[in-house]
Amino acid sequence: MQTEIEVKFPNVDFTKLRGQLKDLGALREQPMRHMRRAIIETPSMREKHSFVRVRDEGDKVTLTYKQVDENSLTGVKEIEVTVSDFEATVALLEQSDLPYKSFQESRRETWRLDDVEVVLDEWPHLDPYIEIEGPTEEAVKEVAKKLGFDWKDAIFGRTTELYQLQYPHGDADKLVTIPRHTFDQPLSKIISG
């Protein structure tokens, strides 16, 4: 499995950040776009803190196995392949006794600064945040520093960590149990507490 070297920072002003990225010479690879995902989690996957995701990223569809060994800069491992069709991949997994438990959507804008990806993310009922992902810990930390982020504010792991931070009385770890987590749905009591 490949190690994902990634950090998240919550509560980001996208307008300000876009200006900073432009000033640093970053290239916007993808404008803000709608994304959808089907999350599969079996009892054995849950025990290993893992899941399977089919994600329509707007310009491609990916099938990913993710395993969170620890909430750290290098604690997430993944195997990802590009597939040709979101619905067909979900149907294939369902026929293989791997039905999805949760349909989720988000919006994402992707920038590249040298060899580091900076992603502006919006999720239903969650303050805007960014992900910085790169080939090395040093590269990720350097971009975070250039953008003015304080490492003490860094969040690692799944997006559920951000929900838990924003809604401390809820149980964001159970996001996968919400059948539809979309922008047009009200905030689930599971998340808000």
Count of domains observed in the chain:
1
In a domain, 159, yes or no: yes
- The answer to whether the beta carbons of residues 173 and 84 sit under 8 Å apart is no
Which residue range is the domain that position 16 belongs to? 2-169
In a domain, 182, yes or no: no
Mean pLDDT of 41-58: 95
154 Cβ contact list (under 8 Å, min separation 6): 7, 8, 9, 73, 144
In a domain, 177, yes or no: no
Q: In the prediction, which pLDDT does 130 show?
A: 98
Main-chain dihedrals φ then ψ at residue 147, nearest 5 degrees: -85, 0
Q: In the prediction, which pLDDT does 184 show?
A: 97
Mean pLDDT of 48-67: 96
In a domain, 186, yes or no: no
pLDDT band at 164 (very low <50, low <70, confident <90, very high): very high
In a domain, 36, yes or no: yes
Q: What is the CATH number of the domain that holds 73?
A: 2.40.320.10
In a domain, 60, yes or no: yes
pLDDT in tens, 83-132: 999 999 999 999 999 999 999 999 999 999 999 999 999 999 999 999 99
pLDDT in tens, 181-191: 999 999 999 99
Note the pTM of the prediction, 2 decimals: 0.92
The tally of CA atoms less than 13 A away on the side-chain side of residue 23 is 10
In a domain, 187, yes or no: no
